[in-house]
Chain A
């Protein structure tokens, strides 16, 4: 049913339809509206779930870890400092091979403290073993939660999924969104059937000490499963399309890219703005396009290669930094083309939208203007030079 909903409310509605038996969360802006709405649904008897108000994000993720280990589907959401505070549990949960969907309402990292949007939080945890999917709009955020649970609980995966949605822009933005019917969701997402669980009838030990004799193999298995996910994600999105009628590739999305001479690569809500600018520039005869990365982990290197190999100049937008090195996304895009014959002549790096600085259509036009034969290793867009003059000396 089509509704005009705030992003957080829409996510809460779809999480309700996924019927998690345990929800645990700790409040942090801009994640709060999601968990407040879920708490309300539980309080009103519209959702049969144990809602556990914990004393920290570390315990929120630990609590849902325990619930999944006991054989129950669970849910949590966080943001920014909260995600960093859960950091060791994030790694641990993937290593334990427990399926979960967690929403990350993307927000900047302190210091300086800043509650607004960029993607430094989830990007910083890219190596944890989780599948990371980035939403462009509220509808995609809703749908990625459904796809996420299916993927996560697939017997060949047993991996947690982080659905990343830009804080405020998507969590607080109001859009027309199609919330599926319960019967559709039940058809697509059957009841959780754990592969293993804590059960006195069949006692198992989870979370053993593993020494050098076998540790490498556990990490190898995680890596292989991530690679398998590259094949499984398009299968699940194809099935999703059959049930819900919305098409996603799940790994990448190409927008007017086939004959593009210049293209932008980006993740998240900025892709909507980029598409508008592309339409305007196309109307003026400019051959420009977009490659949207939906799945950051697993990283779809082969799909990215195929999509960009004939594009002359590529601009990679990062809403996060790897301080002291190339920005995270651009370094991986470049790695895709190392040693390849067919490749863009230029892969320039642009840093945009940190700490909630608006990325306007003009910002995107500036990126295209700077996307020339001269490769840029890390150009900050909309930088204010006057603020850089302040000094203690």
Chain B
């Protein structure tokens, strides 16, 4: 039997960023953890009866209620006087977090429960076949935001979940990327050392939905950070700070994935994408080298 808390042998796709991140999270938290999981890929590929990849107590109820179920678990542990000895982690995908589960998450954050909420952000509803979610980036080609003669993909920008979480006045918010595994574990450990509600959003490439080579998961994840499209930020004591980068043009990231293929020969849209990265770089002070501009976007 494997000694991992998230064991091998589950049915995730080759190169699945979410499965890698889930293991990083639970290994950082350790065996004294109860996990509450929203419906989604992670739940499906890790717990098909009669097997389970989980070496910690784990419960799945519904798509949108992990934060509320975890609130009950945490309240029960408080009642039993066991809360200090046990970590409670609620987790879900981007749709279960930022769309259908946002109300339950907001309630959990507002009420001050001692819970770490982890959002595995693969930027669309992958479990149902790559439909657009509130965390799908601008111009992404998904099955419900398809590219066509009158469309360059998703018309909306990514919902600012870290800011939404931080607006609840909680003690810790962070983004992370599976391309930076030690950073993921550092942030999880740091979060679990703080009492109260914590929110970590981890960027996790999905080879199937993003249409990239399954061997390139880490590289794709790193490029998202290094271009400024997925800034690694931490919110503590009321301020956001960003991990410094030496910015690379967004085209280097976009060209690795089929979901952005339609942008590569579209300078106008590339300019918009570069603008999004530039805004992130400015907003979170990721680099002194502010802009690549349209000319150098590729």
Contacts and interface: CB of A to CB of B under 8 A. Distances in A.
Contacts of A66: 36, 59, 61, 68-76
Nearest to A211: B48
Contacts of A159: none
Interface string B55-73: 1111111101101111111
Given A56-B107, A70-B72, A203-B54, A198 B79 contact: no
Contacts of B57: 197-200, 202-206
A64 B76 CA distance: 9
A84 to B, nearest CB: 15
Given A66-B69, A67-B73, A200 B86 contact: yes
Interface residues of B, number: 45
Q: How large is the interface on A (under 10, 10 to 19, 20 to 34, 35 or more residues)?
A: 35 or more
Nearest to A91: B62
Contact of A62 (B33, B55, B72, B79): B72
A50 to B, nearest CB: 4
A65 B107 contact: no
A63 B69 contact: yes
Interface string A278-314: 0000000000000000000000000000000000000
B61 A89 contact: yes
A67 B61 contact: no
Contacts of B67: 59
A207 B60 contact: yes
A68 to B, nearest CB: 8
A203 B56 contact: yes
A52 B75 contact: yes
Contacts, number: 162
Nearest to B5: A203
A324 to B, nearest CB: 29
A202 B75 CA distance: 20
Contact of B69 (A48, A65, A199, A208): A65
A212 to B, nearest CB: 11
A31 interface: no
Given A55-B104, A55-B110, A205-B52, A62 B76 contact: no
Interface in A49-94: 49-50, 52-56, 58-59, 62-72, 74, 88-89, 92
A22 B79 contact: yes
A109 to B, nearest CB: 22
Interface string A14-47: 0000000110100000000000000000000000
A81 to B, nearest CB: 16
Name, among A96, A199, A205, A211, the residue most crowded by chain B CB atoms within 10 Å (CB to CB): A205
A70 B76 contact: yes
Contacts of A214: 49-50
Interface string B74-99: 11111110000010000000000000
A72 B50 CA distance: 26
A56 B103 contact: yes
Nearest to A24: B72
B72 A65 contact: yes
A210 interface: yes
Given A62-B104, A67-B75, A96 B49 contact: no
Contacts of B76: 21-22, 50, 66-68, 70-72, 74
Interface string A111-133: 00000000000000000000000
Interface in A177-231: 197-200, 202-211, 214
B49 A211 contact: yes
Given A71-B76, A74-B72, 10 more contacts: A22-B72, A59-B103, A59-B107, A63-B69, A64-B72, A66-B75, A70-B77, A74-B76, A202-B57, A208-B52
Interface of B: 31-34, 36-37, 43-44, 47-50, 52, 54-62, 64-65, 67-80, 86, 103-104, 106-107, 110-111
21 contacts: A22-B75, A50-B76, A53-B111, A55-B106, A58-B104, A62-B69, A65-B69, A66-B59, A67-B79, A69-B59, A70-B76, A70-B80, A72-B76, A89-B62, A198-B57, A200-B33, A203-B57, A204-B57, A206-B57, A207-B47, A209-B48
